Structure 1
Amino acid sequence: MTAQEILAKLVSFSVLGGESNLKIINWLKDYIESFGVEIYLVPNKTNTKASLHCRIGPAVDGGVILSGHTDVVPVKEQPWNTNPFELVEKPDGNLYARGSCDMKGFLACCLAVLPKMVKTKLKKPIYFAFTYDEEVGCLGAPSLINHIKKTYSEKPKYAIIGEASMLQPIIGQKSIHIIDITVNGSQGHSSRIKQEVSAVHEAARIVMWAEEKMNSLINSGSIDSRFEPPHSSLHTGIINGGIAPNIIANKAFLSLDIRCLPQDDANQMYQDLKNYCKSREKALNPIFSSFRIDVVENHPIVPSLNTNENSDVINLIGKITGNYNWTTVSYASEAGHFANAGFESIICGPGSIAQAHRANEYISKNQLKKGVEMIKNLVKHLKTSI
């Protein structure tokens, strides 16, 4: 099958982040096994989802992991011009479908080159590592990585995460942490604002705390000009509460999106937030003893990526893409998890991130072709030396 034919099949599986991915993972399993490759599935606790990994080539140190995810973001209320779960080729040379760019295009490239991988006498192995629930917090990656480390006696050296980058190497990403906060105040007449505890007012203070925290990091000099913006960011994307202007709100909800530079401590940021909320509880419990602020992780911290500029993986990517000019991004991916597990990690894949998460998402046929060429070049490189 060609990469385009495989991509057409992959996008037909409308697996959203958080949903069961067993249909697509079983199709991937059957396809890969048809070439005589042994597959390992890593299910979640309820056996409703699974990640997949396998090795092609010899059981020796120094191999390369090719990593991608099987889930996509929703299409609801987006103005699609075509069926988002059917690959549509248009005269402009683009292939339209949800996930065509993010990131089933990369999976299709890997699978299209699989027959060549199997037939080639590789000196170093190639691994596939395909996950679930990347789009809702990279939830499947940690267990998959742990399973890889336990399964193989040898140690892979590199991890290439094929997120859409127009095949430009990406060596740095910010961490991401989404935190849901529920403020429980007391209800009463608006004239009694000093005798009650307004959940809306306290939610607003948390928003201002986040703004001031971000500014304090900037003012302290925690800057990395490789990123845009060049500092850690704290952003309130959702806030709501109250039922009427003249009623003190007893309930408010807000959601914080925190993206940290590699040099800033995301865990400490989370602890600082919890400490601030506890201090507000202590200050206002004398007014309303049941005042409470519940701070809950929407998902665990997705770690940052900070691959060294002199890392061997940059040279490897340069050899198989012809592009040695690296960059950084402010979005998160599974690359940080692989890096923390000890693999030299880099983001590099076909398609443009500008097409991700939007209506009429597409990958160009040219980018898909170049993605296949990158994987073929990797096979050729591992056949000779690494």
Structure 2
Amino acid sequence: MTAQEILEKLVAFPVLGGDSNLEIINWIKDYIESFGITTTLVPNEANTKASLHCRIGPPSDGGVILSGHTDVVPVKGQPWDTNPFELVDKGDGNLYARGSCDMKGFLACCLATIPEMVKANLTKPIYFAITYDEEIGCLAAEALIEDIKKSYSESPKFAIIGEASMLQPIIGQKSIHILDITVNGSEGHSSRIKQEVSAVHEAARIVLWAEEKMNSLIVSGGRDERFNPPHSSLHVGTINGGIAANVIANKVELSLDIRCLPQDDANQMHQDLLAFCKEREQQQRAIFSEFKIDVVENHPIVPALNTSEDSDAVDLIGNITGNYNWTTVSYASEAGHFANAGYESIICGPGSIKQAHRANEFISKDQLNKGVTMIQSLVKHLETTF
């Protein structure tokens, strides 16, 4: 099957983050095993989802992991011109579907190249590492990596995470920490604003704390010009509460998105927020004894990526794509998990991130073909280099 034919199959599985991915992962499993390759599934506790890994080539140290995910973001409310879960060729050189760019295009490139992998005289192995629930916090990456480490006696050296980058190597990403905050105040008539504790006013203080915290990081010199913006960011993305202008709100919910430079500590920012909330609780309980601020992790921290520009991974991507011009991004991927596990990790895949998560998402045929060429070049590289 060609990469386009495989991509047509993959996008037809409408697996959103949080959904069961068993249908798509079993299709991938059956396809891989049709070439005589042994695969391993790593299920979640409920056996409703599974990641997959496999090895192609000899059990020797120094191999390359190719990593991707099976889930996509929702399409509800987006003005799609076509069925988002059907690959559509409009004749303009692009292939339209949800997930075509992010990141089933990369998976299609990998799967389409399996015949060449199994025929090659590989001196180092190629591994596939395919996860679920990446789009809602990279929830499956750690368990998959742990199982890879247990399953193989040898140690891979590299991990290529195929997020859309126009095949440009990406060596750095910020960490992401999302916190859900609930402020519980006291309800009352608006004329009693000084006798009650408004959840809206207290939520506003949290918003200002986040803004001031971000500015203090900038002023203190916490910058890395490789990133845009070149500092850690704190952003309140949602805030909901209150019922009327003349009613003091007793409950407000808000979400805080923290994106940290590799050198900054997201855990410390979490602790700083908790300290601020505790301070507000102590002060306002003199007015309302049950005043409380709850802070809950939306999902575990997605770790940053900080691969050295002198890394062998940069040379590897340069050798197989001809592109040595690395960059960094402010979005997150599973690359940080692989890097923390000891693999030289880098993001590089076909398609443009500008197309991800939007209506009429597409990958160009040219990028899909270049993605296949990159994997083919990796196969040749692992035949002749070592």
TM-score interval (norm. to shorter): over 0.9
Cross-structure match for 1:137: 137
* Greater mean alpha carbon deviation, residues 276-285 or residues 139-148: 276-285
Report the residue type matching 1:234 in the other structure.
L
Residue 67 of structure 1 is matched in structure 2 by 67
For residues 20-46 of structure 1, the C-alpha deviation after alignment (integer angstroms, 9 at most, x for no partner) is 000000000000011111111011111
1:210 aligns with 2:190: no
Provide the C-alpha distance between the structure 2 equivalents of 1:287 and 1:245, rounded to a whole number of angstroms.
21
Partner of 1:12: 12
Equivalent residue, structure 1, for 2:127 = 127
Mapping of residues 186-335 of structure 1, within 5 Å = 186-335=186-335
CA shift, 1:380, in A, is: 0.2
SS of match in other structure, 2:135: helix
Provide Cα deviations, 1:185-233, integer angstroms capped at 9, x if missing partner: 0011111111111100000000000000000000000000000000000
The superposition leaves residues 222-259 of structure 1 with CA deviations (integer Å, 9 ceiling, x where unpaired) of 00000000000000110111111111110001101110
User: In structure 1, what is the Cα distance between the partners aligned to 2:144 and 2:169?
Assistant: 23
Name 1:118's counterpart in structure 2.
118
- Rounded to whole Å, the distance in 1 between the matches of 2:95 and 2:382 is 30
Distance 1:244 1:327 in 2: 48
Matches within 5 A, 1:111-190: 111-190=111-190
Structure-1 residue corresponding to 2:348: 348
Rounded to whole Å, the distance in 2 between the matches of 1:280 and 1:55 is: 54
For each residue in 1:102-161, what CA deviation from the matched residue of structure 2 results, as whole angstroms up to 9, or x when unmatched?
000000000000011011111000000000000000001110011101111100000000
Question: Could you say which residue in structure 2 is the equivalent of 1:31?
Answer: 31
| Match runs of 1:35-46 below 5 Å | 35-46=35-46
Residue equivalent to 1:358? 358
Q: CA RMSD in A?
A: 0.6
| Percent identical | 80
Partner Cα separation in structure 2 for residue 343 and residue 277 of structure 1: 38
Partner of 2:375: 375
- What is the CA–CA distance in structure 2 between the aligned matches of 1:288 and 1:218, rounded to whole Å? 36
User: How far did residue 76 of structure 1 move?
Assistant: 0.5
Task: Give per-residue Cα distances to partners, 1:174-194, cap 9 Å, x unaligned.
Answer: 011111000000011111111
Count of residue pairs the alignment pairs up: 386
**What is the letter of the counterpart of residue 376 of structure 1?**
Q
Distance 2:181 2:225 in 1: 31
**Structure 2, gaps ≥5 residues long:** none
Distance, in Å, in 2 between the alignment partners of 1:151 and 1:323 is: 33
- Tell me, in whole angstroms, the C-alpha distance in 2 between the residues paired with 1:276 and 1:41: 43
> In the TM superposition, what is the alpha-carbon distance from 1:163 to its structure 2 partner?
0.2
Q: Take 1:232 and 1:74, find their aligned partners in 2: how far apart are those partners?
A: 27
Give the secondary structure class of the aligned counterpart of 2:256. Answer: strand
Separation (CA, whole Å) in 2 of partners of 1:276 and 1:36:
57
Secondary structure in 2 matching 1:370 = helix
Q: Look up the SS of the partner of 1:373 in the other structure.
A: helix
Aligned residue identity for 1:118: V
Q: Distance in 1 between matches of 2:310 and 2:154?
A: 24
Amino acid at match of 1:179: L
> Offset at 1:289?
1.0
Rounded Cα–Cα distance in structure 2 between residues aligned with 1:178 and 1:265: 14
Q: Which residue of 1 aligns with 2:101?
A: 101
Stretches of structure 1 that go unaligned for 5 or more consecutive residues are none
Q: Name the amino acid aligned to 1:122.
A: L
Which residue in 2 is equivalent to 1:80? 80
* In structure 2, C-alpha distance between the alignment counterparts of 1:278 and 1:30, rounded to whole Å: 53
Greater mean deviation of Cα atoms: 358-367 or 282-291: 282-291
1: CA distance, partners of 2:220 / 2:16:
40
1:340 Cα deviation from its structure 2 partner: 0.5
CA distance in 1, matches of 2:28, 2:299: 27
Cα offsets for 1:352-384 (capped at 9, x unmatched): 000000000000000000000000000000001
TM norm structure 1 = 0.99
Bigger drift between 107-116 and 186-195 goes to 186-195
Counterpart position of 2:50: 50
- Which consecutive segments of 4 or more residues in structure 1 shift more than 3 A? none
- Counterpart-to-counterpart distance in 2, 1:366 and 1:180: 41
> AA paired with 1:253?
E
Counterpart of 2:21 in structure 1 is 21
